[in-house]
Amino acid sequence: MLHPLVLSLANAALLVSASHVVRDVVYSRNVSHCPGRNSSGLHLRRSSSTGYTLTSLVELQHGLSAQLQLAGPACNAFGSDIANLTLEVTYQSQSTIRVKIFDTAQDQFTIPSSIIPPPPLPIKSLVNHSDLVFNYDSFPFAFWVTRRSDPDSMPIFDTRISSLPPTPIPPFNASDPSTAFDGFPLVFEDQYLQMTSALPLGTNIYGLGEVVASSGFRRDIGTDGGQGTIQTHWSRDDTDPIDQNIYGSHPIYLEHRYNATTGKATASGVLLLSAAGSDILLQTPSTSPVSLIQYRMLGGTFDFYFFSGPSDVDVIAQYGAISGYPFMPPAWGFGFHLCRWGYHNLNDDIANVEAMREAGIPLEVQWNDIDLYHAFRDFTTDPVSFPTDGIRTFIENLTANHQHYIPIVDAAIALTVNDTDEYDPFTRGSEMDVFIKNPDGSLYIGQVWPGYTVFPDWFADSAQEWWTEALMNWSTNGGVEFSGIWLDMNEPSSFCGYSCGTGANLSALAPLSLTNVVATGYPECYNETASGPSGNMTVNGASTYSCSDATGSGTSVAPRDNARRRSPRSVGTGIGAGGETGINVTYPPYAIHNGFGALSEHTVATNATHTGGYLELDVHNLFGTMEAHATYVALQKVRPGKRPFIIGRSTFVSQGRWAGHWLGDNYSKWEYMYFNIQGVLQFQIYQIPMVGADTCGFQGNTDEELCNRWMQLSAFMPFYRNHNTYGALPQEPYRWDSVANASKIAMQARYSLLPYWYTLFANASTAGLPPVRALFYEFPDEPDLFTVDRQWLVGKDILVTPVLEPGQTTVEGILPGRGDVIWRDWWTHAPVPVSPTNTSTQSTTVTFQAPISHINVHIRGGSILLLYDQPGYTIYETMNGPYALLVSLDGDEQACGDAFVDAGDGEFDAMGGTDSSPNSTLARRLVFEASGGSLNVKTQWGAYNIEQKLETIVVLGVGQQPESVVVQGEVVNGWVYNGAIGELVVAAAAVDLNGEVDVSWT
């Protein structure tokens, strides 16, 4: 959460190491002549006036290596040019090429392999067999990556100057000179790296987050009236601003390239594995025949991975093979989570849990925000509001009811303020030397909720031991026997500039006071002045809807102003700025478009020092992921035999291996409910699939209608939590009868679908397949779908179409497939009629009825879903009930599906894992096939004993009433046929899923 108050600091100390600060007036700040002159002093021709020359090429088993030498005098645009570089190209797999360009001396920062391990080399050479081909020019050095199967088509990445538009190109934002393109050379300086690639004109780009993008899930590339994109990567704590950098950094994009001539699309992906602060620009200059992407980085190296696809799902999976596949959540993690900042004491928690059960609204996990803490200190509980014995008893009662508890953990650790102050996490951390330092070796002291604070140094040798000990003590001795952990403020956030506590009176700064804090503002179309503060849809029988237009709020998404704001050498260490001289650590000569301006604003300063000599400038974007990893390892010891469940805010490449993510401090606005969808779709690309938004909104007050719609929307997202801010209107789902009703309806569907969700996440954890998908992932050749981000698919079989505007009773949605796919209503099982006039060249748009408390959900023809037949109040109760099978036949009366089944917690074993076997007793993979009036269920692998029986079988698309139904060779009578919708229901089947199952209808 972002702090709501600005606190004055009387003793702020600016500690900047003089050895790392230089005046930057010597830099040209122009790359049009990099290098600019040959040995005779004449300007080189444009075609050869850029970059480096390739020499000393060596062909290797898995690729090649070469040297790159500066092709002329240094231009020193935003730093000092590095004359000697090394190029390494590795054909990593059939679908992936790695291209790495780094300084030969290896002084620039590189991400340590302990944080993101490099993938292993293939067993055999793929140089002549891979899907992709690396091509290059020696002078000036440039490279391009093509498909082996189609070498003459436009490359998927192309840095040749001849492929890019002529320069100079004037600024696309007149108020920001940095948005000009002086030239497109390869620039490799100690403080600035630049590379540019041509893209097909107006192509479809997705990813490059984290961001709340005004353009939607598809990024603005500067065509069709767009402004283009400047995506900054510098993790920061801000309340979900539009088109600016926020909590996480993910420099990967997915390109969906459509050929209008053939009517076919292919997908590819590009990852730049760099933690450097950066700007990534997407733009299409005026009259240019191509679009472009340009990388501008504040140091580090180029470490690219190129993914061949050819499908969008393939690209995401191929990226997962590099970043690491996501963790497998425990089954209870898919239940409903409830939190707020403002549960003032344990009685609030108890009353909340009781109210949820009394209302019949499933509650799986109760959370607490920083209200839990004593003086806002991590790993504590307030002795009055949350006494140790009381919180222990409360959690024990939750556990007895098969419910769970998750507390918050902030990144900053309070200091002890005097000799009588006892706070073990700080004392032990100081003894174990695990905190970030100033350049002079003293403690770096920032400020967060408890007052002056220090910050964990995840590079420290003892950091893991200290963190595990703190969590263990909190759980064992502190009474907080948590089931999971919520990591917040881990960009990391600090409320003051630099090491403001250095030399200060530590006891002079009290913890933050929340006295008289009241949230303001309501959703669009709710006028609190006219209708009062209740947020109700009606007051005294009159509607509180205040918008006059016919289409709802009509809220437009305001794009951001792209103007930026300025506020002895070791060899071969890879430390980066911490080991280099002449580096302006505080204000790098190139100013990325950080939303706060100066890089050190509202976070740990860039000159802060980590173990090993690393500076915050280089490792800033890694903090959240390193904390998540440390927490994951700790939870394995604190809760042995249980799967860790962690939700974190700041993220980076590979974080999905350890934690999920919530979309941060959003607003209680209809606009932000829409943003919820693009955020979840983004994080599927980033291999962090366990993701969701603060349902009903965090900042400001929600209202009944918004919360009604949002509780239903989030029921079809992976992570499902309602959370709001301090001083805001309560928004638990039982607060309004209509919201309670909507929640129960949606949760029943969610809990019924748990086997499907669970299987999707098993597939993600073993193969990197995204559980939530954009429509075009499954229907890649339908251009109408490329910008659709108001609908989504759960897996490939469940289509969700929510209401995203206030005051509406209908909603428009697209049924993909152009009439060739049957879509059936989840709630009624009736097929949706499709007009034949819309089936040939365009997608089918349908207006669905959407009264309050109803969300449109459709099942794809050709799918078979394993469901829970009798959803219970908790996941435990649900999992101990019988199964159902839902068969949705396609037009040829065929369908297929599969399901992954295990105990829902504990050791995770899936086929393809190093220790799994066809006879594993830890899990079982079922496969389903239906065709020609018969259904078959069999085990693909595994010997896990499924105790629950298959009770109900529903077949949709049966054209005529059967004369008989046979289950396991025996004619049964307990079936019903509804000819109006072609539905066959076989009840009380009581079939054992551990053996083969055969069902037929004739």
How many CB atoms are located within 10 Å of the residue 819 CB?
A: 17
534 burial type by CB count under 10 A (0-12 exposed, 13-18 middle, 19+ buried): middle
The structure tokens 């952990």 sit at 485
Number of residues that make up the chain: 1002
Distance CA 980, CA 51 (A): 70
Phi, psi of 278 (to 5 degrees): -155, 160
Of 437, 442, 474, the closest CA to residue 457 belongs to: 437
Number of neighbours of residue 608 by Cβ within 10 angstroms = 28
* E-only strand ranges, 220-275: 229-233, 250-259, 264-272
* Single-letter residue type at 400: A
**Cβ atoms 96, 131 nearer than 8 A:** no
Strands (E), 445-601: 446-448, 451-454, 485-488, 538-539, 542-543
Residue 773: both structure tokens together: 């998908």
Provide the edge-to-edge strand list for the sheet that holds 264-272: 52-60, 63-70, 84-91, 96-103, 302-307, 264-272, 250-259, 204-209
Asked whether 388 and 479 are in contact (CB, 8 A), the reply is yes
Tokens 């209107």 belong to residue: 729
Q: Please tell me what DSSP assigns to residue 29.
A: -
- Contact status, residue 110 vs residue 574, Cβ threshold 8 Å: yes
| Annotated catalytic residue within 158, 382, 665, 797 | 665
Judge whether 488 counts as a catalytic residue.
yes
Q: How far apart are CA 325 and CA 761, in angstroms?
A: 10
User: Whole-angstrom distance between the N-terminal and C-terminal Cα of the chain?
Assistant: 60
Distance between CA atoms of residues 879 and 639, nearest Å = 22
3-state secondary structure 31-69: CCCCCCECCCCCECCHHHCCCEEEEEEEEECCEEEEEEE
Of the candidates 856, 870, 947, which has an alpha carbon nearest to the alpha carbon of residue 902?
947
Q: Closest Cα to residue 439, out of 229, 689, 580, 606? A: 606
Query: Is residue 626 within 8 Å of 223, Cβ to Cβ?
Result: no
- Assess contact for 66 and 157: CB atoms under 8 A: no
Whether the CA torsion 992, 993, 998, 1000 is positive or negative: it is positive
According to DSSP, residue 443 is labeled B
Beta-carbon contacts of 236 under 8 Å, excluding residues fewer than 6 positions away, are 245, 246, 247, 491, 493, 594, 595, 596, 602, 603
Active-site position among 488, 627, 782, 902 = 488
Q: Which two tokens stand for residue 991?
A: 């079939």
24 catalytic per annotation: no
| CA neighbours closer than 13 Å in the CB half-sphere of residue 796 | 19
Q: Write the CA distances from 129 to 63, 133, 149, 268, 322, integer angstroms.
A: 12, 9, 10, 18, 20
> Following DSSP, what letter does each residue of 502-525 receive, concatenated?
TTS-GGGSPPPP-TT-------TT
Helix (H, G, I), strand (E, B) or coil at 314: helix
Of 314, 491, 627, 694, the catalytic one is 491
Q: Are 566 and 590 contacting, i.e. CB atoms less than 8 angstroms apart?
A: no
> Sign of the CA dihedral 658, 662, 664, 665?
negative
224 among known catalytic residues = no
Yes or no: say if 613 and 573 are a contact pair by the CB < 8 Å rule.
yes
Cite the active site residues: 488, 491, 665
